[in-house]
Amino acid sequence: MSTMTTPTPSASCFLVGPVPFKDVAGPEDDNHITPPEECGHIISTLPTIAFLGRFVHHQYQGAWVIHERLPGVLSFQRSFTPRPGDVLLASPPKCGTTWLKALSFAIMARAAYPPTAGDHPLLRLNPHECVPFIDDLFSAGQDAKLEALPSPRLMNTHMHHSLLPASVAVDPNLKVVYICREPKDMLVSMWHFGNTIHPCDFSDMFESVCEGKSPDGPIWDHVLGYWRASKASPERVLFLRYEEMLLNPVESVMKLAGFLGVPFSAVDEVAGLPADIVKLCSIDTMKGLQVNKTGASGLFYKFQHKSYFRKGATGDWVNHMTPEMAQRLDDIFEYKLRGSGLSFSS
């Protein structure tokens, strides 16, 4: 953990909202600090699999974590200190993470960056360049960049709730926003995204998810952890469903703003500010921007910016799964979620 002095939050910065991560951190730094020897010892004792025959994952505290990011989980657990006003966006992979990043940034930073402004950061930066991915930063030993951000900080993770340090899980001054997605559509999106760096058969991805041995899996445990946290502490953990947000995005933006402590005023609503944010962050707008048509980012794996914007729709699973496959996955999730009050059944 860096010894860099943590900026002291001021009233003015809370009014302004978060700043784009890239504007503070600068260009992506591919230099990685070697994990402490202790991390290597812990990792060497863990169950290990090769996801799709290539990507090494370790089972740590019940969750499958890709090898490159496990040191970051360990470092985050031991050294992260929350600040008042921190917001952590959480999700399994390919469940609306990019959209949630864009919406949350636009909502929280709207005083400094009106959504209709021609110089809005989201028009020149990919959402992942505005909101840092702490899993990679801590794994690469670049957490000082996170400390350099002024408050309030907006961050994201794919970690299970069970992997979050107590300082995050119980801190009353830190808020968590979680988004999940219908499992069949999530799986299809994960397959398309993964194919951009390592083509594989859809059936292989399907089997891995069904067995719970997928990136940041088992997915049902991922969802259940945040679901239960949201029920226990609804003032600190907001649980969102991608499909519900698509049905009424303006209402979802207003709900999200209220939870984040920056609700829209009646004047804002009449002026159409929530709708302006929805338009700015829509997949049509994002997909059409030059910054999202070109370039790539990622500390361990370089993902093309355009790969984050495919369809953004629901129900695409019917084009990839047989009825028998769909029923099998539905049955698994129904069994795993039984008694929780959460369901993905129609």
If you compute the radius of gyration of the chain from its CA atoms, what whole number of angstroms results? 19
Distance CA 192, CA 74 (A): 29
Establish if 95 belongs to a structural domain: yes
The H-or-E segment that residue 24 falls in is helix 21-25
Domain count, the chain: 1
Residue 16: the pLDDT is 66
The mean per-residue pLDDT over the stretch 86-90 comes to 97
* Residues 105/271, Cβ–Cβ less than 8 Å: no
State pLDDT tens for residues 317-338: 999 999 999 999 999 999 999 9
Residue 346: the pLDDT is 61
Cα-based angle 329, 335, 326 (whole degrees, multiple of 5): 15
Amino acid at 31: N
Establish if 150 belongs to a structural domain: yes
Residue 6: the pLDDT is 38
Residue 12: the pLDDT is 36
Residue 39: the pLDDT is 85
The mean per-residue pLDDT over the stretch 52-64 comes to 93
Establish if 294 belongs to a structural domain: yes
- CATH number for position 162: 3.40.50.300
- What are the φ/ψ torsions at residue 337 (nearest 5 degrees)? -95, 0
Higher pLDDT, 197 or 249: 249
Picking from 113-117, 312-316, 341-345, which range would have the lowest pLDDT averaged per residue?
A: 312-316
Give the mean pLDDT of the chain. 91
Higher pLDDT, 36 or 222: 222
* Set 128, 158, 222, 320: catalytic member: 158
**Is it the case that residue 175 has pLDDT exceeding 70?**
yes
Task: Give the domain range for residue 197.
Answer: 69-336
Q: Is 158 a catalytic residue?
A: yes
Distance CA 106, CA 259 (A): 14
